[in-house]
Amino acid sequence: MSTTASRNPDLAGQKGLKTGALGLMSSVVVGMASTAPAFSLAAALGWVVLGGMTPVGVKAPGIMLLAFIPMFFISIAYKELNRVEPDCGTVFTWSARAFGSRTGWLGGWALIMADVICMSSLAQVAGSYSFVFFGEVFQNPDIAALGGDVVWTTTAGLIWIVLMTWICWRGIEISAKLQYWLLGIEIVVLIIFSIFALYRVYSGGGVAESITPDVSWLNPFDLPFDSAIAPALLTALFLYWGWDTAVAINEETSNPTKTPGNAAVISTLLLLVTYVLVSTAAVAFAGVGDTGIGLGNPDNADDIFAVVGTALFGDSVLGKIMMMLLAVSVLTSAAASTQTTILPTARGALSMAAFKALPKSFTKMHPKYLTPTWATWGMGLISAAFYLAFTVLSPNMLAALVGSIGLLIAIYYGMTGFASVWFFRKTLGRSARNLFMRGIIPLAGGLMMLVVFIYGLQQFLLPDWLVDDNGENVTLFGYGAVGVVGILSMVIGAVLMVWFNIVAPAYFQGKTLEKRVHTVD
């Protein structure tokens, strides 16, 4: 690859991370685990079915298929950029190479903020389901009831954050090995759930709400875009988010230029199969009605497995075992994603610090474990502080924080798509492969993310977008809290960028990370 002259040698592969620690399979596992499939489906499938003003209903599998398209396109952009610039900073490094230091810094900030905010949600779920699980194990409803207690749930969530941060600090190989078990449990349980649900429907053993699946469920385009498809798509995109962790650990893989990108693409394909299968099975068995176990019932939207699982498996000993396994799958899913959310955040901060865009302390590595010490523990502790502060402030504000993640995802995924086009602009015409893989596909992915961001921001700023348990609108400055939190997240990033421009001018003056143009294949 020919590039503009650089005043400093590249730092990719020179940050002290343990190189060659992971192969393709480990990277795929980390990429899938980061999306938390079981937790995501339990908490979001009901909201996909509900859509917006117009319910999506049986078209939920089609929404899953539609949401896959921009995610797959962006994964191609990740793959191509990683081939020529395998840096663990990912969007931070690539955006800076394409558009300059300030754009790169804001891209890195969006990634870090999305991960930190997400940790609050994951910790809350892991804390709650810990008590649900042990309540099932010991058949003690008093223990299970603690899952609804704010103090106990918050305490357990903080313990989970500290535990998973420690595991990430102990080494990438230990983290990956744990992911095999955690991801394996949730995928096996999801497959059992899907097969048993479809078997009962096709064998005539379903419930009154059950519906026989139809291929038309995969076509959502007969629904109105504004009132049905777009709101459901925003939720479904969140379901897919997280596979890019496979690329964030690129400097620790056996083949940094190929393995991470391949793992990202494979992860999105496997997630597509998982989400379409489970959503089809759940819709078929429970139906989409707005009463009972129907997925169109708003009371079921926060956790569809808790409601559908009971009706599916019954109250027998086997049914109780399966319900316990469902609880385990959601718990392990949230725990696995808690761990894999720390990994890209720490490595993103490490890369930013290595290029002097963050304080030097974030570059400190453990001499034995070869993991970023300050970056790992710093991100874990910041996430814990966010979780604790906003839980104490207001559970409704915590919900607003979580909802704003979608806006941050659209920012840094879209930025990656556009960075690919600009970075490779001089070689796009050299082959059909270059034109499509590095130009048209990433550009389409970036534009889709831009549309999602614009539409999402408009909706999230509506005063009645988020309503609390008392029916009151959750707002900030008279606008929807979700949209305001998303905007404030980037405004804070811009303010910090100005500050670091003063205290760390080398990066912002292009002395550590310059613009580049790819000129040779």
pLDDT in tens, 135-167: 877 778 888 888 878 889 899 989 989 988 998
| CATH code, 24-340+347-508 | 1.20.1740.10
Secondary element (H or E) of residue 270: helix 259-286
Residue 493 has pLDDT above 60, yes or no: yes
DSSP string, 298-352: GGGTT-HHHHHHHHHH-SSHHHHHHHHHHHHHHHHHHHHHHHHHHHHHHHHHHHH
pLDDT band at 183 (very low <50, low <70, confident <90, very high): confident
pLDDT per residue over 387-407, tens digit each? Answer: 888 788 776 666 667 678 888
pLDDT band at 77 (very low <50, low <70, confident <90, very high): very high
Q: Where are the domains of the chain?
A: 24-340+347-508
pLDDT per residue over 44-57, tens digit each? Answer: 898 899 887 788 99
Q: How far apart are CA 244 and CA 267, in angstroms?
A: 9
pLDDT per residue over 324-383, tens digit each? Answer: 888 888 887 887 777 778 888 899 999 999 999 988 888 998 888 888 998 999 988 988
pLDDT per residue over 222-239, tens digit each? Answer: 998 877 888 788 788 888
The mean pLDDT value for 16-39 works out to 85
pLDDT per residue over 250-270, tens digit each? Answer: 888 888 999 999 999 999 999
> What is the reported pLDDT for 7?
39
Q: What is the mean pLDDT of the chain?
A: 86
The DSSP code for 359 is: -
- How far, CA to CA in Å, does 505 sit from each of 90, 110, 358, 419? 22, 21, 11, 23
pLDDT band at 504 (very low <50, low <70, confident <90, very high): confident
> What is the reported pLDDT for 476?
84
Residue 174 has pLDDT above 80, yes or no: no
The mean pLDDT value for 74-79 works out to 96
The DSSP code for 476 is: E
